[in-house]
Structure 1
Amino acid sequence: MQLAAGPVEGELGPSGYGGRVQHHVIVFAFDGVRLMDVAAPWRSSPPPRVTRAPTPCGCAPPAAGTSPRPPACGSRIAADVPVERVDRADTLVVPGPADLDAFRKEPALIDQVARLAATAQRVAAVCTGAFALAAAGLLRGRRATTHWEHAAELARLHPDIQVTPDAIYVQDGPVLTSAGVTAGIDVCLALVEQDLGPEAARRVARDLVVFLQRPGGQSQFSAASRTTATRHPVLRPLLDAIAADPASDHSPQALAGHAGASPRHLSRLFRDQTGSTPAAYVETMRLEAARILLEHGESVTSAARRSGLGSDETLRRTFARHLGTTPSAYAARFRTTRTAPPSTRTATP
């Protein structure tokens, strides 16, 4: 992959600069980078009447990179100059690596991120690019997010970061982090709005046919919850029973009776093995069942009844609390084209 860097010229409005200025937006590319994480900032730049610097993609910030090898998808990205020659980055955008383990074996990449960030007025990460910012010390003491699949790992490796796993993007001072892949568009739209105003951001959003501000959090896009991979002889049969028929009576008392254990002992087992209470675990599995039903065309009322959540109102409250959206909005976005009625059984390992 060839490497590049260069200025983007635009009229900066609400941010207070005024007039026509050079604003250097650098997208850092490297071996194994996710191409979509690079393309999202490129494609989210304002149209040519606002952004004036020609680049390989037509109307977007250039990339700075580190090697002639291709990104994770096997494609090659044409650029202008190697990252070592970049001495200014008003806005630095760091895409995510496809292979975090391989990325951690390249400390030189982290050094380059730290060096470029030192010249930047603000820094943004796309998806697992947050790990690069964290390794460079840029997220210490800050709020941040990343792809839902890696949020727990980010929190574990960097306890000095306040990880917000459900956010589409998080801005803490001059540092922005975003969720997986397409959330790079969301964070870049936020940057466009900050620099060029809401109308410019709306034009870009309309051009991309995306929300200017996406409703809800990233949990609604995450993979379905799965029963905990425990082999505990008391708990495993209960978890399987909840997954097989979430609408049955799974009150703490009923579960304790099935297990032949006291409610207190069972609650302790749940906390040790699942990190949750029996009631919270059952609600999570019922929520997943409702999601599956809605995705396959069931009505809100039917999904509430068949999942065990009971009423439309309970289903709405549960969706709002866990997913930050409504059942109807979720169904509109995720309903499958297939009409075969699904089982309410939730996924197991």
Structure 2
Amino acid sequence: MKERRVAVVGYEAAELLDIACVTTSLGSANWYGASPPYHTRLLTPGGRPVTCGTGLTLQAQEALERVTGPLDTLIVSGGIGHEEAAANRVIVAHVRRLARESRRIASVCTGATVLAAAGLLDGRRATTHWQWAGRLASRHPEVIVDPGPIFIREGNISTAAGVTSALDLTLAFIEEDNGSELARNVARNLVTYLQRPGNQAQMSMFTAPPPPENTLVKRVVEHIASNLGGDLATAALAAGAGVSERHLTRLFLKHLGQTPGRFVRQARTEAAAQLLVSSSLPMAAVAARCGFGTAETLRQAFVDRYGIPPSRYRLAQASA
């Protein structure tokens, strides 16, 4: 193999950062000696220039319809134009076609909407920008949408969360292809963080409050955040809010992209992560303070969310 052919798909109102994070990272990998080197091309419908969501015009290098495989990697960018792109039969058909001819397929941010429209995410766990996760889940119930991680890799298909998570996913690809040392050099060159694992949360519940116009959801979330050690079962939350469990669950799915139970587990796990770093409390005390009951329950929740046990997380943060 003389080169790794990489196709990045853009369209009208695509996000420039979604594209640049990928192309700049791969270009930097070439500079550090990626072997074989990456040959990256921007594909657009008809090969026409596209105006990005920020208003800047980006020149395409090839027409989406004319490119043929085999490709090493196919990456679909996101952006505010993603829904129109997903409704465009030409774009979707050629993404589907090129996916069959690619070793590795990925999307960045809301590019997952295009992969979903092409049927490439059916039955798979996938992520997207946290603001769009609920909409993706409702429009494509066949996709297992997880709004938590910064990226998810299932087989040869990967989905990355919002915007700069493209850096994390591309660095993971570079490390897979060329080893950790070269990927580390690229990360240093880009002045970014190499070791941010894909299962790290893309958005903390403490910095991503629900839309302020939904006062009921906001009130319940505030109650959860201030009563992590209390009874936060869905039934108790619904009773406190004066609604049925079913209605509360529907509201949480609509505005937060997850059920009340899952949100509570996330809030408790994130609070535990903060305590592990900011205090010397033993595991049992951290678990009790955050509402887990036992250290083992905390461990299971922590591994599910962060991929490592809390003890290892504490050590890693202490030595960082």
Relative to the length of structure 2, the TM-score reads 0.68
Match of 1:125 among 90, 107, 110: 107
**1:48 aligned partner:** 31
- Taking the aligned partners of 2:74 and 2:267, their CA distance within structure 1 comes to 41
List per-residue Cα deviations over 1:256-277 (Å, max 9, x = no partner).
Answer: 9x9798xxx8767755765799
- Give SS of 2:68's match: coil
Bigger fraction of residues in helix: 2
Say which is worse superposed, 148-157 or 29-38, in terms of deviation: 148-157
5+ residue gaps, structure 2:
none
Separation of aligned partners in 1, 2:303 and 2:232: 20
Alignment correspondent of 2:75: 93
2:16 is aligned, of 28, 35, 39, to 35
Deviation at 1:127, TM superposition (A): 0.9
Partner in structure 2 of residue 145 of structure 1: 127
Equivalents in 2 of 1:240, 1:170: separation in Å? 26
Provide the rounded CA distance (Å) in 1 between the counterparts of 2:135 and 2:201: 16
CA RMSD of aligned residues (A): 4.7
Instruction: Name the aligned partner's letter for residue 146 of structure 1.
Output: T
Distance 1:260 1:205 in 2: 47
**1:225 aligned to which of 205, 209, 222:** 209
Counterpart in the other structure of 2:137 = 155
**Residue identity in the other structure for 2:64:** V
Alpha-carbon distance, 1:287 to partner? 8.7
Q: Is the 8 A contact 1:37 1:181 kept in 2?
A: yes
Q: Provide the aligned length of Structure 1 versus Structure 2.
A: 294
| Matched residue, 1:196 | 178
8 Å Cα contact 1:26/1:93 also seen in 2: yes
Asked if the contact 2:99–2:105 (Cα under 8 Å) also holds between the matched residues in 1, the reply is yes
> How far apart, CA to CA, are the structure 2 residues paired with 1:160 and 1:134?
9
Report the alpha carbon displacement of residue 177 of structure 1 after superposing the two structures with TM.
1.0
Counterpart Cα distance in 1 of 2:148 and 2:225: 27
The secondary structure found in structure 2 opposite 1:124 is strand
> Contact (CA 8 Å) 1:145, 1:164: kept in 2 or not?
yes
Does residue 114 of structure 1 match 2:96? yes
Note the alpha carbon deviations across 1:185-208, whole angstroms, 9 max, x for none: 111112112222222212111212
Aligned to 1:186: 168
**Cα deviation code 1:167-223 (max 9, x no counterpart):** 221111111111111111111112112222222212111212222231574545254
Query: Kindly tell me: are residues 208 and 214 of structure 1, through their superposed partners in 2, closer, same or farther at Cα, counting changes over 3 Å?
Result: same
Task: Give identity over the alignment, percent.
Answer: 33
Residue aligned with 2:3, SS: strand
2:52 maps to which of 42, 51, 71: 71
Change (3 A) 1:77 1:230: closer
